[in-house]
Structure 1
Amino acid sequence: MPYLTRAVDDVIAGRLTALGGVLLEGPRACGKTSTGLHHAASSLRLDASPELLILAESAPDLLLDGPTPRLIDEWQLAPSLWNAVRHAIDDRSESGQFILAGSARPADDITRHSGVGRMGRVRMRTLSLAESDRSSREVSLAALMAGVPSVQGRSMLTYADVAAEAVRGGWPALVSSTVRDAQIFNREYCEELYNSDIPSATGVHRSRPRLRRTLAALSRNISTEATLGTLAADVAADGSSADTRTIRSYLDALSQVFAFDELSAWSVDLRSRSRLRTQSTIHLADPALACAALGIGPDRLARDPRFFGFVFESMVIRDVRALATRFDGRVYRYRDNTGLEVDAIIESTDGSWGAIEVKLGQNGVDAAEAALLKLRDERVDTDRAGAPMFLAVATATEYAYTRPSGVHVVPLATLGP
């Protein structure tokens, strides 16, 4: 299969030009190996042979020798390589030496030791609709962040198509697969999390039934600010016991393999007496995992617009996070104590920002527009934070257009880098 161009490619190329190496992190099967190989001149997979793990401890220089950039895939299997790579970068005094790729953080995260000036950390996620060629890409996120005054475009996907894409997910291996095959893939992905990925990454064998219930609880609460207490009650709903400390340990384990991908709250200066809420929002590596964990197919999802709305919001967050990587953008959520919330705040490295509210259908656009204008006009201190570069409502509808207020309506399947 030909390489699928990713929004993160420009970032990786830039880091390799400026720094000694790049650390690619993200969930298993999100495309780290393919992307690493795309940028590498030589490569090595540490899971190819047990002998390589022995060499990593006894003679790491042998593994680091090769044309550069050199990809070391699944490097977390031999965490001591981190220091060997750092020292090699120092000794060579050249940029673009190594690409490390891993689908889990080492149990004792050795990357906390300084990589400043040597390694750039790049987070990879599953494919956005634009990257998997499901979007017309007529509305550029970068152009929105540059303040483009109006947008236009037409979605390639119907409501039912969007439901099918939510169930398929953004895994590169599934771009050409049927939705039925994708459902099997996603169910097996969840099983591997319980049976192999988490035990291998953490070194702790946790209760598989309880991990399964935890992922189901996260899936039922996707795109919400459910507390540990809420999740614990959900996990214990079948009569078993579960306390918040146990749930926290399971969330940490899921985070270690990048399966749990919560969205942080936005910190910004306010002009009103409102107080910001700091609770993070629940998201998974891909919203398709939520559908798989709950056994929901595209038809059932399409017939449940309430739950579909939460899943669709997670799709939007996934896509905006992936596309914002191209300009080193970060994505947050806004919510204050008055109940005003905005689903996605995109912030650039220079502090400029834009806001997206998510609505599955056209009937929610008026309320979303009002929330966005209230955020701009009544909440954010724009003297300090600056005026937003754009305000937009992301939908699963057909047409992209700009309303008289300046708020854009952007079907997700028109959004591109």
Structure 2
Amino acid sequence: MKQYRKRIYDTVLRHRLEAKGAVLVEGPKWCGKTTTCLQLAQSVLYMAQPDIREQNIMLTDMQPSLLLQGATPRLIDEWQIAPKLWDAVRFEVDQRDEFNQFLLTGSSVPPSFTDITHTGTGRIARLRMRPMSLYESGDSTGAVSFASLFEGESMPLSRVDSNIEHIAFLLCRGGWPKAIDQTECIALQQSRDYLDAIVESDISRVDDVQRDSHLARRLLRSYARMESSQAQSAQIAADVRGSAESPSNKTVQSYISALEKIFVLEDMPAWNPNLRSKSAIRTSDTRHFVDPSIAAAALGIGPAGLIKDLETFGLLFESMCVRDFRVYADALDGDVFHFRDRTGLECDAVLHLRDGRYGLIEVKLGGNRLIEEGAANLIKLADKIDTTTMSKPSFLMVATGTGEYSFTRRDGVMVAPIRTLRP
């Protein structure tokens, strides 16, 4: 058996469970939800186990409390197969009046909420889990800690062996646990198979609506072309229509909604700081896949193809960085946003903690010119922020793909290869 590789979510999940009767762990299939939960669980119920699946569903209708019996915390895997379990868990948590009772995992939202009468507020916490960051997969040295930067510590000068070919491979491999430590050929095949499963099965099974696999594949390809942009749904629909027969905007939006329900798409919301000037802030979400390897697979492009198309490479690299930033933000009790105003001034990622501290990050694949451009944007944005009404940024950083060293420039902007970062 493959040895368990520790996850950042191990600690996050333990802390959440210590403060609630139950925790729902959601996220895309194959990102490691069940395996991570098993590190804490003392008993487990696999709802999707073929030989007892129908029996489990029947018991959910007749006497769901029987399914909840077992050593705690008890893991209920793929709970959404029988949505009535939600109310049963909520009631049992009330009756026991103790924390640390149940773990629920789900790789999609339930197809219907008619069997759920209570939101679970105060009883069931939610935790979104994502594929592995580069630090979790062992592909980052972890020399640069975001937690330390938020504490005001200086960034250490550190070195990492990195080249554009390896970054392209890491992007196309993705953060799927089963792809880690495999040969290159096997590792790269995983995201392609994942894409096939999405379009052939998962997008229809999520809500029992039969969808066209060819249209789903074209939609994902169009979405991938819009990666890391603020493209509107109508633009995506127009791009899909330009490739073959013409689905309506409503149809395209229903496909996007289904992909969100199975956690394949995870757009990034806009940040709204207090600025000195009355500059209109764009509020559109930035388009992102939960893992950039899905976008690469949808485009039918591999590491060699990315290197030949640096524009696409740059957009997908930004998405890979956002995936990692989101994981690191979860460890620090924070969120990740983007910023863009009507003048075009932007910031690719704002790592914002719940206590109000925040860091501004520009993502650049590499090259001195792009780093200079990113640093100038960060300084300009920092100067616009009204520090009489909110704190000044804890740090300004240009995160890069290539480049051997993490270092701090004379203007105070930090430059850090993505393969040196950790929470």
TM-score, normalised with respect to structure 1: 0.97
Alpha-carbon distance in structure 1 between the residues aligned to 2:192 and 2:315: 20
| Residue in 2 that maps onto 1:408 | 414
2:124 partner amino acid: M
Q: 1:369 to 1:252 in 2, by over 3 A?
A: same
Alpha-carbon distance in structure 2 between the residues aligned to 1:196 and 1:54: 25
Please say if 1:239 is aligned against 2:240: no
Alpha-carbon distance in structure 1 between the residues aligned to 2:164 and 2:30: 27
**Secondary structure at 1:252 match in 2:** helix
CA contact (8 A) 2:144 2:155 kept: no
Please say if 1:288 is aligned against 2:297: no
Alpha-carbon distance in structure 2 between the residues aligned to 1:4 and 1:60: 34
**Secondary structure at 1:270 match in 2:** coil
Alpha-carbon distance in structure 2 between the residues aligned to 1:184 and 1:220: 21
2:77 partner amino acid: D
| Residue in 1 that maps onto 2:314 | 309
| Residue in 2 that maps onto 1:279 | 284
1:412 partner amino acid: I
| Residue in 1 that maps onto 2:377 | 371
Pairwise mapping of residues 20-31 of structure 1 onto structure 2 (< 5 A)? 20-31=21-32
Q: Tell me, which stretches of 5 or more residues in structure 2 are unaligned?
A: none
Cα deviation, residue 112, structure 1 = 8.7
Alpha-carbon distance in structure 1 between the residues aligned to 2:108 and 2:394: 36
Alpha-carbon distance in structure 2 between the residues aligned to 1:176 and 1:149: 33
| Residue in 2 that maps onto 1:76 | 80
1:142 partner amino acid: A
Alpha-carbon distance in structure 2 between the residues aligned to 1:279 and 1:95: 38
Please say if 1:257 is aligned against 2:262: yes
Alpha-carbon distance in structure 1 between the residues aligned to 2:290 and 2:76: 23
Alpha-carbon distance in structure 2 between the residues aligned to 1:235 and 1:219: 11
Alpha-carbon distance in structure 1 between the residues aligned to 2:308 and 2:421: 25
Relative to structure 2, which stretch is displaced further, 337-346 or 41-50? 41-50
**Secondary structure at 1:333 match in 2:** strand
Alpha-carbon distance in structure 1 between the residues aligned to 2:250 and 2:308: 36
| Residue in 2 that maps onto 1:125 | 130
CA contact (8 A) 1:346 1:353 kept: yes
Alpha-carbon distance in structure 1 between the residues aligned to 2:320 and 2:170: 9
Pairwise mapping of residues 2-401 of structure 1 onto structure 2 (< 5 A)? 2-48=3-49, 49-50=52-53, 51-109=55-113, 113-363=118-368, 364-378=370-384, 380-396=385-401, 397-401=403-407
CA contact (8 A) 2:42 2:73 kept: yes
Q: Tell me, which stretches of 5 or more residues in structure 1 are unaligned?
A: none
Relative to structure 2, which stretch is displaced further, 314-323 or 137-146? 137-146
Identity of aligned residues (%): 44
**Secondary structure at 1:96 match in 2:** coil
1:408 partner amino acid: M
Relative to structure 2, which stretch is displaced further, 105-114 or 236-245? 105-114
1:41-94 deviations in Å (ceiling 9; x for gaps): 111110003222222222211111001011100111111100000000000011
Alpha-carbon distance in structure 2 between the residues aligned to 1:216 and 1:29: 21
CA contact (8 A) 2:84 2:116 kept: no
Alpha-carbon distance in structure 2 between the residues aligned to 1:129 and 1:15: 23
1:239 partner amino acid: A
Alpha-carbon distance in structure 2 between the residues aligned to 1:243 and 1:266: 31
Q: CA RMSD in A?
A: 1.3
Relative to structure 2, which stretch is displaced further, 268-277 or 149-158? 149-158
**Secondary structure at 1:240 match in 2:** coil
1:361 partner amino acid: G
Alpha-carbon distance in structure 2 between the residues aligned to 1:340 and 1:245: 32
2:421 partner amino acid: L
Relative to structure 2, which stretch is displaced further, 208-217 or 244-253? 244-253
**Secondary structure at 2:188 match in 1:** helix
Cα deviation, residue 245, structure 1 = 1.8
Alpha-carbon distance in structure 2 between the residues aligned to 1:153 and 1:25: 35
Relative to structure 2, which stretch is displaced further, 179-188 or 380-389? 179-188
Alpha-carbon distance in structure 2 between the residues aligned to 1:415 and 1:158: 16
**Secondary structure at 1:400 match in 2:** strand
1:295-340 deviations in Å (ceiling 9; x for gaps): 1111111222111100100010000101111121100000000100
Alpha-carbon distance in structure 2 between the residues aligned to 1:402 and 1:295: 38
1:415 partner amino acid: L
2:335 partner amino acid: R
CA contact (8 A) 2:199 2:213 kept: yes
**Secondary structure at 1:15 match in 2:** helix
Cα deviation, residue 146, structure 1 = 2.0
TM-score, normalised with respect to structure 2: 0.96
Q: 1:248 to 1:118 in 2, by over 3 A?
A: same
1:158-191 deviations in Å (ceiling 9; x for gaps): 2110100001000011111123223322122111
Alpha-carbon distance in structure 1 between the residues aligned to 2:390 and 2:45: 45
Alpha-carbon distance in structure 1 between the residues aligned to 2:93 and 2:334: 27
1:125-178 deviations in Å (ceiling 9; x for gaps): 000000000010000121122222233222243211010000100001111112
CA contact (8 A) 1:156 1:414 kept: no
- Give the total of aligned pairs: 416
